[in-house]
Homo-oligomer: A and B are copies of this chain.
């Protein structure tokens, strides 16, 4: 056996069709160097110049291997404006609830002048600037986490030789992406971290594969943190896998996160310890279940606000929670596969094990089919 080889490997010049979404350029670079495709999540970059510097770093630290970028461009353009404009739409009741919840949970305020800026990557204009910056570098793939990108963005990417991927939580969304020119579908199952729909991978992946037909590559996403799960996703008809959570448990991720309680939290979490909720962005997303998510699930909690207001509402709270480092309160998107994350390891080791266990699973299936 020679690992995991599908037509996507030749298309992208990668060794294994293992795509790794990550907010960390260190993780993305290590995945690409290890034979997968690192995909840098851009939503955290409020500053185009910072993204530019980060992509320059990626260009220089991937040993010439390909990488991708992920932007968040909702199909329906949400409310636009600066952080301050938008904040005026946030009800006082919600602000009071956040303040009171942080007080109850013992999360201290930030030092004066630190980290109050929210995340603006959820805004359409910001996502477009991410695309513009990315096209100055050498990504091979642009993925959109929320629906079909605008047609002119797709055309711009194609003209620059990039492939365009989009996440889909239902077969009809996948069909609509393809009709609008998207090249690759990421079938994102219910068990995934971050934004998810209701359909679990076991059902979603083959449904999407059948809906888009044999000429469109589908990446299985949601619940993939071991080689058995890679084999299962490919058995369902995917040509590759889209992974995310498992890279939050790597040594390289520490460059971004430090260890502000996150490692303690995920090392002890089981697959039952996540929750799908609108409190992170306003759209349903799966997070680690903590006292913070429990507070929002309580009867007295207000309903989350629509995107992009909810993320602005909780932006400072997220900064305070991160600074406090309390693993019981952490606010972190992660999939049900968190139960399988039981050690902090280098990216290269995780990748090697994914491939080796995939081969082992295929050998086991061969034995089952041979009787």
Contacts and interface: CB of A to CB of B under 8 A. Distances in A.
Contacts of A270: 170-172
A361 B235 contact: yes
Contacts of A336: 199-200, 203
Contact of A337 (B191, B203, B223): B203
A235 B203 contact: no
Interface stretch (A55-63, A124-132, A147-155, A363-371): A363-371
A233 B370 CA distance: 17
B340 A207 contact: yes
Interface stretch (A1-9, A39-47, A317-325): A1-9
Nearest to A15: B371
Contact of A202 (B198, B200, B234, B237): B200
Interface in A193-233: 197-204, 206-207, 222-224, 226, 228-229, 231-233
B368 A234 contact: yes
A282 interface: no
Interface residues of A, number: 54
A276 to B, nearest CB: 9
Contacts of A201: 200-202
A178 interface: no
A189 interface: yes
A262 interface: no
A237 B227 CA distance: 11
Given A202-B191, A236-B232, A6 B366 contact: no
Pairs of residues from A and B, 9 with the lowest C-beta to C-beta distance, nearest first: A202-B223, A2-B371, A200-B200, A5-B371, A232-B232, A191-B200, A231-B235, A203-B336, A232-B235
